[in-house]
């Protein structure tokens, strides 16, 4: 019975939060474009990830 009251209290506590979220008029954030520097770093990280996966594949294949 304690568990029932605890869950009921938890749900009752969350109800006002959902009502406030509906009233606030949430605006989705607009994603910003990436800079050329960020794209370069992403390219380098991708190349390093693929290279490390190839090395792991070769090491595991030897065993």
* Digit-coded pLDDT (tens) for 41-52: 999 999 999 999
- Rounded Cα gap, residues 47 and 41, in angstroms: 10
Give the pLDDT mean for 24-32. 77
- Bin 25: left if φ > 0, else alpha if -120 < ψ < 50, else beta: left
Most confident of 11-20, 22-31, 45-54: 45-54
pLDDT-derived band at 33 (thresholds 50, 70, 90) equals confident
Q: Is the pTM of this model over 0.85?
A: no
């Amino acid at each position: 019975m304690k568990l029932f009251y605890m869950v009921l209290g938890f749900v009752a506590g969350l109800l006002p939060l959902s009502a406030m979220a509906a009233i606030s008029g949430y605006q989705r954030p607009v994603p910003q474009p990436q800079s050329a520097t960020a794209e370069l770093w992403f390219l380098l990280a991708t190349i390093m990830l693929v290279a490390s996966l190839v090395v792991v594949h070769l090491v595991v294949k030897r065993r």
